[in-house]
Amino acid sequence: MGTAIEFYDFTIYAFLATIIAPLFFSKHDEVAGLLAALGVYAVGYVARPLGSIYFGRLGDRQGRRRALLITITVMGVATALTGLLPTYAAIGVAAPTLLTVLRIVQSLAAGGELGGAAVLVAESAPRKRRGFLGSSTAIGAAGGATLAAVVVGTVSVMPAHAMSSWGWRVPFLLAVPLLIVCLVYRLRVEESPVFQQMASETAPPKAPVSDVVANHWKALLKVTLTSYALNTAAKLSSLYLVVQFHLLGYPVAQSVWFAAGFTFVSGTVMTYAGQLSDQFGRRRVMAVGFVGFIVLAIPCYMLMAASLLAALFAGLILNVVDGLITGVVFTAFSEQFPKHVRYTGVSLGYNLGTAFGGGPASLVAAALVSSTGVLISPAFYIVIVSVIGLGTVAVFDDREQSDL
């Protein structure tokens, strides 16, 4: 529940990028304004590894639960403040500056969220159902993205002038009641039994980040490369498609609703992916997913240009593949590190991958389209990163039978 709300907060900016661009950046050059808005989205991802270092240390030393209570509070406040920002017309260059600052604050919180939630679930789950229950973290993230798309799609039905004057603020301001709901849930979450046992037996690790880098760098590298590949492919198969459909001339409101369907399908597949990984191993399921991206990315992007209905079908196919990998990776990541540095290792590796992959993915894709004039060029990027992902998961350690 907490991860869903946190990723609602983090995702709404992506769905509103085409609306935010002329309000905070250039009104005269549509492509330049859009690239600037996507640039802010990408810059925010750079701060995520810093957030993972801070909250990873906190989670490994003082508990998973405490770190997760702080991340959701910081995220909710920053999101609400974004909805209150004056635009460029009101305060000039200070508007995009403040927008960037708040996006960075959001990213610091996000840097400690997903990895910590994944670790807490994995450490609390029975070994034989770890993959199935571990998929709940990924489902939460997908659910948050779905909620963001639904909310943005709902407010987008209003007239264009209302949407640009105040309607775009509504999704951000909804962070306030959502934060309250989330805190009610999170305050009732018990600490991980693994951490409780560790805290009662040994002193907290002095420098978990240094320990991960010095002694568990192979695991860190594998998690980072897998995260890079998955986050890039996933972004170009879901959130970026709102921009892609806009470039193809499809209505923004319908595109956002399609995006909601994409993330819903992906989240549904995640549960089955987790179950399959308990039976056949994390590595095999992830490999099948990356092969799917390699084979299907280019044909699906070509199909999107045929019609709006064809674009919907193509997006759904790509998100089935995304769900197959995403439903497994967080459990697999948690299994790569020992308990005393697990929060730090998972969070740092995952967020380094998002910083280089998922964060700039939309910006790179839009730049590729702008510079080449080839609308399917993002599909080639998906293929390249998926080859990297496939090669990385081939050397993953399968530890389904090990206790955490």
DSSP, res 43? H
Q: Which of 404, 312, 340 is nearest to 203 (CA)?
A: 340
CA 374 to chain centre: 26
> For residues 18 and 34, is the Cβ–Cβ distance under 8 A?
yes
Q: Which of 73, 56, 67, 63 is nearest to 184 (CA)?
A: 73
pLDDT for 30 equals 61
Domains in the chain with CATH codes: 2-393 (1.20.1250.20)
Q: How far apart are CA 68 and CA 66, in angstroms?
A: 5
Structure tokens at 305: 């240009």
H/E segment holding residue 278: helix 252-280
Question: What does residue 205 show for φ and ψ, rounded to 5 degrees?
Answer: -60, 135
pLDDT for 296 equals 97
The angle subtended at Cα 275 by Cα 269 and Cα 281, nearest 5°, is 110
> For residues 124 and 143, is the Cβ–Cβ distance under 8 A?
no
Consecutive 10-residue averages of pLDDT for the chain (404 residues): 82 80 71 70 80 92 91 91 89 85 89 90 91 91 86 85 89 91 88 89 85 94 96 90 83 76 89 92 95 97 91 93 95 92 94 87 86 91 96 88 78
> For residues 169 and 16, is the Cβ–Cβ distance under 8 A?
no
Q: Which of 97, 94, 99 is nearest to 82 (CA)?
A: 99
> For residues 120 and 193, is the Cβ–Cβ distance under 8 A?
no
Question: What does residue 47 show for φ and ψ, rounded to 5 degrees?
Answer: -80, -15
Contact residues for 281 (Cβ-Cβ < 8 A; gap 6+): 398, 400
Structure tokens at 220: 């860190």
pLDDT for 60 equals 92
The gap between the terminal CA atoms of the chain, to the nearest Å, is 23
Exposure string over 95-116, b if 16+ CB within 10 A, otherwise e = bbebbbebbbbbbbbbbbbbbb
pLDDT for 377 equals 93
> For residues 315 and 241, is the Cβ–Cβ distance under 8 A?
yes
CA 19 to chain centre: 21
Q: Distances from the Cα of 61 to the Cαs of 55, 70, 80, 209, in angstroms?
A: 10, 15, 30, 11
pLDDT for 279 equals 92
CA 391 to chain centre: 22
